[in-house]
Structure 1
Amino acid sequence: MSSQNHLHSPREGQSLLQQPRSVWAVFFACIIAFMGIGLVDPILPAIAKQLHASQSEVTLLFTSYNAVMAVAMLITGTVSSRLGIKRTLLAGIVIIAVFSALGGLSNGIWELIGLRGGWGFGNALFVATALTAIVSLSSSGTAQAIILYEAAIGLGISVGPLLGGELGAISWRGPFLGVAVLMAVAFVGLFVMMPNKQTSHAAKAKTSLLDPFRAMKHRSLLVFGITACLYNFGFFTLLAYAPFVMGLDEHGLGYVFLGWGVLLAITSVFTAPKFQQRFGTVTSMCIMLFLFALDLLAIGIWTSTQWVVIAAVIFAGALLGNNNTLITTAVMNAAPVERATASATYSFLRFLGGAVAPFMAGKLAEIYNPHVPFIVGAGFVLLSVLFVLANRTHVGHVDEAGAAH
């Protein structure tokens, strides 16, 4: 990777928790931004009922969000290199707040689907830039910074459904309006605590719109992006369709996805680095993805057995937490391109899978039965393992690159 990767090496020994205030401001804003992913989970059945929508129409709340986010990822580098990291993060937060508030005030499923797309645009600006910001501002090195970023994701994804369940029990509008309020708090925190100056020399160069596409010429980055796209078919089938087969109310769904998210947060911080040291990044990733495929298959086979589905959904959190940290670390070490560009390229490919999967899951269930979406999702995840193994020679270097820091 380019020389910027060695910026932090003298400080690698520092504690993960000894960070500048600006890092904690971005960390807090990340938690709130990622609440948005799981927040609507517990209220999907309620939205379907109250807005008289089919299951596949409701899953479009994930599809519009992820599709817009995927495409917008391609411009995040261009925007942040011109506006600066701080202003890009603040712009993303404002867009999320506005569209989530409008979503909470909407009265029809198609209106809500469109507004979720706007939310996805704000999230793209924020998420792609936040990873770069945390890595650049961190005082403990690249690997530790990525763990911190994944911890924020895990906390956001775990708290999101709990908040969604509690507010959603009052009204399905509650979670949308709640995010708008929290984003306003995050805006103030970032505005006050983050420095105005550019956070890395990488930000001084203007990034071209074509850079993410040029980055795909690096086979390793392309391999990880396609792998993430395939495994996200499983990830978003679980997120978008599992709430419909669990037979729980908003509170119950909130607690199940809280358990899922807590395991995701814990494993992304504490166990992923241990797997990485013991087995290497690529091998660990393949193990986690293979187990996730089996987990989805179990849900597909025992879809009508409530306790099996609940246990499998919660356990999936542990597998996904490990995998998310492993694959993010691998992407950051995969190719000699700027981190912001690598993140944009990878996120574009990853969220394409997240855009297709939810609607596909709803449609498969309507055409066939509720077992089919999970079995198909398991097939896609298994395909991601085979794809990584088939391209092992192109990605094996990520562990050597990581060791260099």
Structure 2
Amino acid sequence: MSTTIKGPAIFLAQFTGDQAPFDSWEAITRWAGGLGYEGVQLPSGDKRLFDLALAAESKTYCDEIAGVARANGVAITELSTHLQGQLVAVHPAYDEAFDGFAPPELRGRPAARQEWAVQQMLLGAKASANLGLTASISFSGSLAWPYLYPWPQRPPGLIETAFDELARRWRPILDAYDAAGVDLAFELHPGEDLFDGATFEMLLERVDNHPRLAIAYDPSHFLLQQLDYLAFIDRYHERIKVMHVKDAEFRPDARQGVYSGYQSWQDRAGRFRSLGDGQVDFKAIFSKFAQYDFKGWAVLEWECCLKHPEQGAAEGVAFIRDHIIRVTDKAFDDFAGSGADPQRNLRMLGLSRSHDE
């Protein structure tokens, strides 16, 4: 029997802050549950909400965290390790920019920062298992991104070397997630070396089709790249384990296109929008996920340069709920069925001898 997508759920990363109700686990889960969400995706690096190291070693702590969420009407959908995953692989051009993702004592020390990031990912595997989760979401990091556009001409082997190194770094982490029984789903995102299907396949091949290497599907990034986000589901549905429901729009003009001329988010040809305000065909997406029996959660990720996040969150509940397809357990023409009869089937095909022969 097919599975109805779980949800609506919400990714908490864009909402956490120092003001109530966004400053504690109890308060933010009560806020999410009060809006009507049934699940929350938990950013594992925000200590206002969660202690990753403690969760990796203490099942009791994880039970308490899950219990608080449950009392407020929500389940934990996945742990997010986006920021830690980013630091597993950083090109030196981005060292200072990404230093903000690391603890202060590691800033300016890229080797130590990378080692810390790997340990964070390993803790994420154990914590996910202690929480009873089956998938986690992260970023791949990037070594080749500065060379995205082939000018000047890339020297032979440059990209291959980058992906060989990416695989070397991620393979032991993937093995740890396998041991924990958790899929590691990378959000395919510009700025990461894994940003589309082709780059995902490049890593997948280098880790020997590792069973835990998975995809976090977010159509907004694909629309801005002008990628066929529906055919993507057809091709990769077996590897898609996490779903972000996020809208976007792409409106090129005489001044700018995909690259958007270094403009601010509000002035870009391609920009993220709150659910329903952009161009993503969510009816078709939810149909695809129902068709392929997706067993995960529909998780809102709010990123909009125009609408206030609390308005986007409030509107997103109904939007997701209205798009979730309750999958059918019967065929629409069952009423016209006449039951199974193998001999009749043979007669209808002319394969059964008549009584006169």
Give the TM-score band, short-chain normalised.
under 0.3
**Higher share in strand:** 2
Q: Which structure would you say has the larger Rg?
A: 2
Greater relative contact order (Cα < 8 A, sep 6+): 1
Report the TM-score, using the length of structure 2 for normalisation: 0.27
